A and B are shown apart, each in its own frame.
Chain A
């Protein structure tokens, strides 16, 4: 008897919930309609998907930017950290959202390094881009006791000892791994790439003098470089950095390497143009606010705004470069 009651209850549960499920299907259709009329966006809170964990660098940028953008958008922006798969899970769920502008995704460098590895079924082309927010170059940094003081000496040493210099990076196929690969290719040297679980452990290993160099962002080694524990030989940016005016760029030393990580905003393909314009304007205004600019300066963020079209052109080029280097490193299929 009791069993019967339990089974009946389960049946009830199923029916009840199935009923609820059906009732919301037509409502979703309704919700979409207002956006097709140009002006009325946004009428409800916007979600920003961040494919990296709360408390990390990307999360901080997303939260800083969306907080500033709320004022210009007239709606709250909820940051939703959907992490996993080296960004893949977040990118994927950003793509599967309704293309109505209510879901914005913070895209990062990994969006162009995951596809060549054959790990994900999408590329940046499945997104409509809004803007690029920042770009941080890689920097070649070595231990203070290393026998080389300039990029030239480093390359010289590497040529005499092929494959002997261990270069730490933040994981197989990570942006700093590719940076080292690109550098080795352009300089015609052979390096021993060592993957760590993130940039911080790689820097720690370098401070302990267990490896020969790292190719991570300047912000990630700034403290140790200023303290004199590490020395930065060169950066892979177009121009010298404000924080490190004495460190030359690869380009001025004659190596055509300009490479780094970036973050940007995007919405799923098929989002109406008016909606994209409204979003892009609001985030650009947020980007220009003093609060966000100060925040970026404090956290050593290399602000590098590009509008949607320039961002697209940049990614077209970068994705080809990255795929090539990854092939050379044996990371791409």
Chain B
């Protein structure tokens, strides 16, 4: 870290037109993130052509603004209408939506933006200071480690299993089954595709997500339109209260650091980070039984985790030239078309660009905080709209959102199918989040297990002899056992309370 160079970079960024571009990027990103079906990746991809005419620093800073904005934006719709605007916000809705139902949408939104900002800043600091070390660590990840990471992630299913561990695992296994639809990742053989070419690449992820969460919730809303009271959001303040910050700061810091690390591992992104952060917060909480019912710490953990990925994902991109996730893969393309090739040489040949990017990311996060805070009143108003207008509009947005990913009506039908499945699951107490985790991690677990064995020529010992892999697998086992015991105890306690 060279302070002089950083200040040069900052001066570069702090010009009125660059700032305006970043702000435009952040606002656009928040909107893209909040709309179901439009993800950070898509937002960045759609704006890349626009940045060609701009100098590198300006173009890239604007794209970073979109990245940060979209990561936060997803939480708005997750909190207000139980629709994760982006996959990364799926962990946020577990507690964000119950909070909004209690009339505390404002509180959840403030904490979400605050945690997003902290996550972004902490990961920015880690990126500036620890880039070389972290990227070296990330390079140790090969197929066996990815397999172990996926298994560890899958063990989180237990802690988001709601009222019944059994039903949670069943939902998880069902999700893994869905995830195995598509061309086999190793042999290319089509599995369970029913002859649909649309299913070759696996079940469409975003439409499934929209179906499970948004459609199912709207069906429920339609059913209960008469009996359900309208929720008002009272907004008394923009920043989270001192009590909330005091309660959550440890969670936020921990989640941000976890998020940065997970983001820096190529192939693991904000969605995984948010769930890992959430489950870690629940594990260490004094009142784990409040999680899932509107615990502010849950919102903080998930949002700090997914925004923590922003800086993390930049680490391998800048220092190794390999993208950390889907968004940075698009960024890599944008860099190359600007005539700049990220990688070890970037630090040697274009150190000024590197520091401008650092500065750009920092400014983007500050803009995010300001835009997000100013927007809270506006966002929260959504929830006060009459439900007989709001529900039809959510329906249309969900349909368009499922369509938009691949311009495909097939995906909309798929979303509708999962809407029906999700509706019955919700009715009979099967949690939906395990399906989501399974869809993200299932293909990762399977393909890396088999890939590891291909590389090792069928030798299973790679899973024990490689230290990172062995540790992760051990942690996964540990987490599986302890969280099962804890969750069973918790559920018993909750049942006793309910019967009293």
Contact = CB atoms under 8 A, between A and B. Distances in A.
B187 interface: yes
B454 interface: yes
A21 to B, nearest CB: 15
B322 A207 contact: yes
B166 interface: no
Given A200-B323, A226-B341, A54 B46 contact: yes
Contact of A86 (B41, B201, B204): B201
B341 A222 contact: yes
Interface stretch (B139-147, B425-433, B482-490): B139-147
Interface string A35-56: 0000000000000000001111
B406 A298 contact: no
Nearest to A50: B407
Interface residues of A, number: 55
Contacts of B344: 224, 227-229
Contacts of B472: none
Contacts of A120: 197
25 contacts: A55-B42, A55-B329, A55-B333, A60-B337, A82-B408, A83-B201, A84-B200, A84-B406, A85-B200, A117-B188, A119-B197, A163-B457, A172-B187, A192-B454, A192-B455, A194-B454, A195-B186, A196-B451, A204-B320, A208-B141, A210-B455, A223-B343, A223-B345, A295-B337, A331-B188
Interface in A158-180: 163-164, 166, 171-173
B183 to A, nearest CB: 7
Interface of B: 41-42, 44-46, 48-49, 139-143, 183-188, 190, 197-201, 204, 266-267, 316, 320-323, 329-330, 332-333, 336-339, 341-345, 406-408, 447, 451, 454-455, 457
A63 B267 CA distance: 27
A179 to B, nearest CB: 16
B196 to A, nearest CB: 8
B197 A92 contact: yes
B454 A210 contact: no
A27 to B, nearest CB: 21
Given A120-B197, A172-B186, A201-B266, A211 B455 contact: yes
Most chain A beta-carbon contacts within 10 A, residue among B143, B322, B339: B322
Contact of A54 (B45, B329, B408): B45
Majority secondary structure of chain A interface residues (helix, strand, loop or mixed): mixed
Given A88-B200, A117-B188, A120-B197, A82 B44 contact: no
A134 interface: no
Most chain B Cβ neighbours within 10 Å, of A82, A172, A210, A219: A210
A300 B188 CA distance: 29
Contacts of A171: 185, 188
Contacts of B45: 53-55, 59
Contacts of A92: 197
Interface in A214-265: 219, 222-224, 226-229
A203 interface: yes
A298 B408 contact: no
A166 B458 CA distance: 13
A303 to B, nearest CB: 15
A88 B343 contact: no
Nearest to A82: B407
B42 A54 contact: yes
B1 to A, nearest CB: 21
Nearest to B197: A85
A57 B333 contact: yes
B464 to A, nearest CB: 17
Nearest to A212: B455
